[in-house]
Each structure stands twice: as structure tokens, then as C-alpha cells.
Chain A
Amino acid sequence: MRLSPDQMIFWQYGFIKLNATIVFTWGIMFVLTVGAKLITRRLATGLKRSRWQNLLEIIVTTIATQIGEVGLRRPEKYLGFLGTLFLFIAASALGTVMPGYEPPTGSLSTTAALALCVFVAVPIFGIEEQGVGGYLKDYVEPTFIMLPFNIISELSRTLALAVRLFGNMMSGAMIIGILLSITPFLFPIVMTALGLLTGMVQAYIFSILAAVYIAAATRVREPAAQAATDSSNMNHGTQRSSHG
């Protein structure tokens, strides 16, 4: 039994392999970009809009609202990165309705790449928002002793992001494969439907966790006394005015 779509090789020349993961990733990239290009080619601002434009608007505004609710102040700035993560993972999970398709997120290489994107994006957004010194100061909060633990948590949460997505998608494909050999007719369909649900939930989780990590890195720190007494939601206004 294949553990991941990495082992399904379509074409090989020397050490260059074209396996199912790469092919399906390219397919999803193609569908997403060309689809978005076709839909946004004729955008209307009036009351009469195409149904595809309505669909895209619903998706984009929902993602922006979710990002805003996590605590990021300007969701539009992070919409490109987080929205792409969500759409890619969701599309790769939704593709399982096609026969012969295997989700590229069922390969540890894909999920590790996505997690590394988050790992790189968090410091970039953090430095952009509060400067190099301000971002690095996060690592020695609350005391200097916590420095190694903060670094370890940075690494381990990247590993957790990758393995969580990989495990969920791989287990879905594997359970369907096992059930196909035991009860070939009805139960694989039920598990495929369940796999669609878990795929959407995992896409949501992945992008929300990335948003939470970015929000933690870009948060402008509040004075200790104030932070102890107030909840973080209440003093957003005062915090912004006092820190500029």
C-alpha cells in the first residue's frame, strides 16, 4: 500500500521525478489561478453580477472577516498569504471527489513546504510591524530564561503544522483504501464524505493557526500593568494611541 502520492511516479529522467504530488499540485495551482483570472476578467460593480463573482466575493470577504476576528488589525494585508493557504488546502481536499485523484497534502513534502512558508512568513510580518528589535524582544519575554523555550516552540509548532495536516489527509486516504478491501460498496463513500469535511476543517485550522501565529508576532506590546488588569480586547484603542 502506498503511504503517500510521492510513490506514484508518472515520468522519470535521471534523478528528476514527476510524481503524483507535483502533478496534482500543479493541477490545483492551474485551476485556482486560471479560474480566478477568468472570473475576475469581467468584474461588475453594479447590481447585476455574475454568479461566479458572487462566489468569489463571498469567499474573500469571509476569509477577511475570519482573519480580522483572530486579532489582526488590517486583514487585507494578510489576505493574500492566509487566503492562498486556505484555498490551496481546501481545493486539494475537495479534489477527492474526482476518481483517480490523490490529495497532494497527503504527502509530507507538501505539508512541510506549507509549514515552512508559515515559519518564514511569521518573522517577516513581525519585523514589518514592530521592527527587528521589537520582534526579537518577543523571544526574551517574559524573562531571558524563556529564550530557548521560545525558540523550541517556534520550531515544534512548525513541525506540528506539517505533521497534523499530513496525518489527517493521509489517514483519510488510507482508511478509504483499507475499507475498499473490506466492504467495497457503501462505506468508502461515507468515509469519502467524512474526508471532505475533515479536509475543510483542516484547511480552516491551518490558516487560522497561521493567522494566530502572525497575530502573536505582530502584536504591539502593552505595558505590563495594563496587560495584567485589562483584557486585550478592551484596550486596543488605548494601546494604539499610547504606542503610536
Chain B
Amino acid sequence: MDNMTIIAVASIVTAGITTGFGTMAPALGEGRAVATALSSLAQQPDASATITRTLFVGLAMIESTAIYCFVVSMILIFANPFWNHVIAQTAGK
């Protein structure tokens, strides 16, 4: 395998693994957060405005970890700096 193939394989496989594994933990965390918020909503419907706002902010915080993983895999696929470097080297030869 030459350098280009190695970089392509590593990028594609890592991109898939990054999003796949990176969304697992945030999914579990968001599930727990929503479940807790639902039970507290059932207990105290009066505080629904506060609970909902805090839930949304918290969900966005949790979700941003998944979004980071997604951004990393998008960079690996569509804007890979190593790939661009190798392409530039090959074109220069």
C-alpha cells in the first residue's frame, strides 16, 4: 500500500468509528437527562418552565460532545489536511 491508500483507509475508517462511538455516550447521557426531567415534570408540573429551559441547555451541552465527534469525522472525510498534503505532493511530482 502506498501512502495515499493508507491515509484514505485510515481516514474513512476513523471517521466512521469516531461518529459511531462518539454518539453512544451522549445518547445515553441525553436519555438519562430526559428521563429525569420527565419524572420531575410529573412530580412538579408548576416548575415546568424552569425544568424545560434547564433541560434544553443541558441537552445542548451534552449534545455538543457528539457534535464535536461529527465535525471531526466530517473534517476527516471532506477537508482532510493529510489527504490534501499527499495530493499536493503527488501533483508537484
Give residues in A with beta carbon < 8 Å to B.
Answer: 1, 3, 66, 69, 160, 163-164, 166-168, 170-171, 174, 201-202, 204-205, 208-209, 212
Contact = CB atoms under 8 A, between A and B. Distances in A.
Contacts of A208: 53, 56-57
A69 B56 contact: no
Contacts of B79: 3
B68 A163 contact: yes
Nearest to A171: B70
A233 to B, nearest CB: 10
A16 B10 CA distance: 36
20 contacts: A1-B78, A3-B74, A3-B78, A3-B79, A66-B53, A69-B53, A163-B68, A164-B63, A166-B71, A167-B70, A168-B67, A170-B74, A171-B70, A201-B60, A202-B60, A205-B56, A205-B60, A208-B57, A209-B57, A212-B57
Contact of A167 (B49, B50, B56, B68): B68
Interface of B: 49-50, 53, 56-57, 60, 63-64, 67-68, 70-71, 74, 78-79
Most B Cβ at <10 Å: residue of A160, A167, A201, A212: A167
A170 B78 CA distance: 12
B66 to A, nearest CB: 9
Contacts of B50: 69
A163 B66 CA distance: 11
Contacts of B67: 163-164, 167-168, 171
Contacts of A205: 56-57, 60
Given A160-B64, A164-B64, A167-B68, A174 B56 contact: no
A69 B63 CA distance: 23
A204 B56 contact: yes
A160 B68 CA distance: 9
Contacts of A202: 60
A239 to B, nearest CB: 20
Contacts of B70: 167, 171
A80 to B, nearest CB: 21
B57 A69 contact: no
A64 B50 CA distance: 15
